Amino acid sequence: MKVRGDWITHPGSQALCAVLEGAGFRALFVGGCVRNDLLGVPVADIDLATDATPEIVSDIAETAGFKVVPTGIEHGTVTVVAEGRPHEVTTFRRDVETDGRRAMVAFSTRIEEDAQRRDFTMNTLYADRTGRVIDPLHGLSDLQARRVRFVGDAETRIREDYLRILRFFRFHAAYGDPEGGLDPEGLAACAAFSAGLETISRERITAELRKLLAARDPGPSVAAMARSGVLARILPGADPRALAPLVHLDQGESARWLRRLAVLGGETGHLRLSKSEARDLAALRTALGSADTPAALGWRLGEPLGTDAILARAAVLEMPLPDDWQRQVRRGAKTSFPVSAADLMPGLQGEALGARLKSLEARWLAADLTLTREELLKGA
Ligand code: ATP
Ligand code: MG
């Protein structure tokens, strides 16, 4: 079995593997790149595993003229930029003890141990620089069946790191067999230990949720999270019902994960959203309950967020989309409210001025942005 994508022939990756091997160490591609290549989906970032310690990796890489950034030295990871491409290079590790928030690790020289500390069998595939696949735990058959299965005993693995609960649903959404459903043993363990998610940082939860909701179709995974009690731990009060209709309407356009979050509802106190995400989410939630026309939403929110709002509202209310809604959102986004404060001054000042502007704006929005400045000012 071989991986064949062009990513593996990148001169930076080849050179980095060659210098590590030249010094007598192993240098193997691992995780997402190998998995995605074998599934025929795009490879995003490059992870390497090696039996050299991080200090030795750094020395060898620097001597070869590559830039080294100690991105996760406490977990044995350094990032090596070779010919413009970053590689996360992690020393073989084994799990030793854990507080459930992060697995504690020790270095190892054995690939089997390194594979055993990984989360799912489909993530334990390695490839050398010629593309030959190394499969110490027989993860290939699970990958080919698109089965997300924990390495070892699911309950034990979850208790080492509760974030793995969310990763289970995320990897199923991204790579699982949509017909086959979730692995029953893994699902039962996630349900039994969902309370452990309370100990995971908001940053780590949000990073996983973001990736989960950005899958082409997160619907079945999120529905299973709701049934198993996992969803309520990270988004109390959320309701997954509008997600499937939204995915149908947005046709898997996954880059807009926030509108998927918006239709779930629920309290976001367990998440850490950026300022702009929090603002956009609040705007979307307001739009869900509004009677604004598509043009009005385009005007209020701009085209991308206005589009999110229309789709999210149609999914939640289970209403069809008006025929020319995209054109209308675009029209709204390009239109400016034609009246300014100067038009009403000096006759109106202060609060009265603000109130009149608001009421003119409401009239203008109700008329679907068609009234002109003159029409609005007539009788104002
Ligand atoms: P992608 O980058 O596409 O999200 P990935 O598989 O590369 O997928 P990463 O989060 O980059 O995922 O992690 C790289 C590898 O490290 C995984 O494939 C897995 O083997 C291992 N890993 C990451 N997080 C954990 C964890 N919490 N527990 C156990 N193993 C993990
Ligand atoms: Mg990765």
pLDDT at residue 273, as a whole number? 97
Give the residue whose CA is nearest to atom 11 of ligand 1: 32
Nearest ligand for residue 77 CA: 1
pLDDT at 105: 72
Cα(177)–Cα(160) distance, integer angstroms: 26
For all residues of the chain together, what is the average pLDDT? 95
Six-digit token pair at 110?
A: 């054995």
Query: 79-135 pLDDT, tens per residue?
Result: 999 999 999 999 999 977 666 666 667 899 999 999 999 999 999 999 999 999 999
Every domain of the chain and the residues it spans = 1-144, 336-377
- State if residue 123 touches ligand 1 by the CB under 6 angstroms criterion: yes
Q: Determine the pLDDT at residue 380.
A: 56
- 140: exposed, middle or buried (C-beta count within 10 Å: 0-12, 13-18, 19+)? middle
Q: Which tens digits make up the pLDDT trace of 273-310?
A: 999 999 999 999 999 999 999 999 999 999 999 999 99
Q: pTM of the full predicted structure?
A: 0.92
Q: Which ligand is nearest to the CA of 123?
A: 1
Residue 95: other Cβ atoms inside 10 A: 19
Instruction: Give φ, ψ of 178 to 5 degrees.
Output: -60, -30
Pairing of strands 85-91, 27-30: unpaired
The SS3 call for residue 112 is helix
Burial class (CB in 10 A: 0-12, 13-18, 19+), 188: middle
CA of 40 to the centre of ligand 2 (A): 16
Under a CB-based contact definition with an 8 Å cutoff, are residues 309 and 283 in contact? yes
Is ligand 1 within 6 A of the CB of residue 164?
Answer: yes
CATH tag, 1-144: 3.30.460.10
The pLDDT score that the predictor gives to residue 178 is: 87
Query: Is the model's pLDDT at 48 over the cut of 60?
Result: yes
- Looking at residues 56-85, what average pLDDT do you find? 95
- The whole-number pLDDT of residue 99 equals 67
Whether the predicted pLDDT of 23 surpasses 80: yes
Q: Is 118 in the pocket of ligand 1 (CB under 6 A)?
A: yes
Q: Whose CA is nearest to atom 6 of ligand 1?
A: 32
φ and ψ of 76, to 5 deg: 85, 20
Per residue in 163-203, pLDDT (tens digit) is 999 999 999 999 999 888 999 999 999 999 999 999 999 99
